Amino acid sequence: MTPQPLVSVIIPTYNHAHFLREALQSVCAQTFTNWEAIVVNNYSDDDTVLVVESFADPRIRLENFHNNGVIAASRNRGIALSSGRYVAFLDSDDTWHPDKLMHCIPYLEKGADLVCHALRCIGECDDVIYSGPQQRATFDALLDNCTCITPSATLVRKSILDSVGCFSEHQEFNTSEDYHLWIKLAKAQAKMDFIENIFGEYRVHQSSHSRSALNHMNSIFYVVDAFLPINSSSSLKSRLRVARCKALAYYGTGRNLYKNKQHNLAWSLFFNALMRRPFYVKTYVAIGLNGLAWIVSKFSGERARK
């Protein structure tokens, strides 16, 4: 009889067969072997099913599930089917290092409810995403400074996921459903630990940019409004706090678009950030950098036409 897995790995996917194979290979390569992987497939029309079946590993399960465009529904479906004490999330275009589970599980065994590590960006950028630290993972800090936790780097105690209702499936939170969950966990006083070591790769590719960046920004606004609702009786302090939160989202999205040479769109986001937080120096720096890059691109374009 197969022993009950300690860790359930939830992998939502849609038309990522070419990446999914690498993701599953990275799970199979774990030095800690008492796991199950549940691939929640949103009825992909590529070779996703064949990729999963090619592993012929009884620890890997395929669940075909219509999520109607809400990735939170796929994550929740995986959690509902899971039998592990702990739940690990892995996006189908990301990968883990072989010793990821071995290093993370002891934190949960010692009483943590959530543990998160660093990830290296691959693809269109070369950077490191560090999680935490703990002082940035409180209820207030998560709202005021945006998320410091990444799904593919995170293991969570299943019992506390169930206690907060797992991921919200409201359409408005789509792409920020994880941010919403981390805030719920912080509000529930979940004990969170963070590891500075890099135990995986986060893939950045074209589908992560442009329109999706704006959609993600708007979903962050909905999350902020869910926890800090503004009404006629709200104090000036509350209104300023919401403005600050949204200014950071405008600024972050503007930086994203600036890096992808979408300078005209970045302008409007930076100015929206200034309207809500006029004394945030980084926004002025970003405007200057965006202006310089815009001038260089215009000059280069004119030279190319001559």
Query: How does pLDDT run across 8-39, given as a tens digit for each residue?
Result: 999 999 999 999 999 999 999 999 999 999 99
Instruction: Identify whether residues 21 and 144 lie together within a single domain.
Output: yes
Q: What is the pLDDT of residue 2?
A: 64
Widest pairwise Cα distance in the chain = 74
What tokens were used for 124?
């269109």
pLDDT at 304 over 70: no
pLDDT at 211 over 80: no
Q: 251 near 273, Cβ under 8 Å?
A: yes
pLDDT at 82 over 60: yes
Domains contained in the chain, number: 2
C-alpha–C-alpha distance, residues 43 and 204, integer Å: 23
Instruction: Identify whether residues 137 and 21 lie together within a single domain.
Output: yes
What is the domain range of residue 273? 231-305
What is this structure's pTM?
Answer: 0.91
Question: Higher-confidence residue: 128 or 260?
Answer: 128
- Name the one residue in this structure whose structure tokens are 């965006």: 290
Interval 181-188 mean pLDDT: 98
Q: What is the pLDDT of residue 51?
A: 97
Q: What is the pLDDT of residue 126?
A: 76
- Does any domain span residue 290? yes
pLDDT at 189 over 80: yes
pLDDT at 175 over 70: yes
Interval 86-102 mean pLDDT: 97
Instruction: Identify whether residues 167 and 245 lie together within a single domain.
Output: no
Interval 113-128 mean pLDDT: 89
Q: What is the pLDDT of residue 302?
A: 56
Q: How confident is the model at residue 306 (pLDDT cuts 50, 70, 90)?
A: low
Interval 263-291 mean pLDDT: 94
Q: Is the four-CA dihedral 202, 206, 210, 212 of positive or negative sign?
A: negative
- Does any domain span residue 221? no
When the pLDDT of each residue in the chain is averaged and rounded to a whole number, the result is: 92
Query: How does pLDDT run across 134-155, given as a tens digit for each residue?
Result: 999 999 999 998 889 999 999 9
pLDDT at 181 over 70: yes
- Does any domain span residue 286? yes
Interval 62-86 mean pLDDT: 97
pLDDT at 65 over 80: yes
Q: What is the CATH number of the domain that holds 70?
A: 3.90.550.10
Q: How confident is the model at residue 131 (pLDDT cuts 50, 70, 90)?
A: very high
- Does any domain span residue 222? no
C-alpha–C-alpha distance, residues 267 and 286, integer Å: 9
Query: How does pLDDT run across 238-269, given as a tens digit for each residue?
Result: 999 999 999 999 999 999 888 888 888 999 99
- Does any domain span residue 217? no
- Does any domain span residue 225? no
Instruction: Identify whether residues 140 and 98 lie together within a single domain.
Output: yes
Instruction: Identify whether residues 173 and 292 lie together within a single domain.
Output: no
- Does any domain span residue 238? yes
Instruction: Identify whether residues 196 and 251 lie together within a single domain.
Output: no
Q: Name the CA dihedral angle for 100, 122, 214, 238, rounded to a multiple of 10 degrees.
A: 40
Q: What is the pLDDT of residue 178?
A: 97
Instruction: Identify whether residues 247 and 201 lie together within a single domain.
Output: no
Q: How confident is the model at residue 208 (pLDDT cuts 50, 70, 90)?
A: very low
Interval 217-226 mean pLDDT: 95
- Does any domain span residue 224? no
What tokens were used for 159?
């019992």
Which of 257, 256, 261, 251 has the alpha carbon at shortest distance from 296?
261
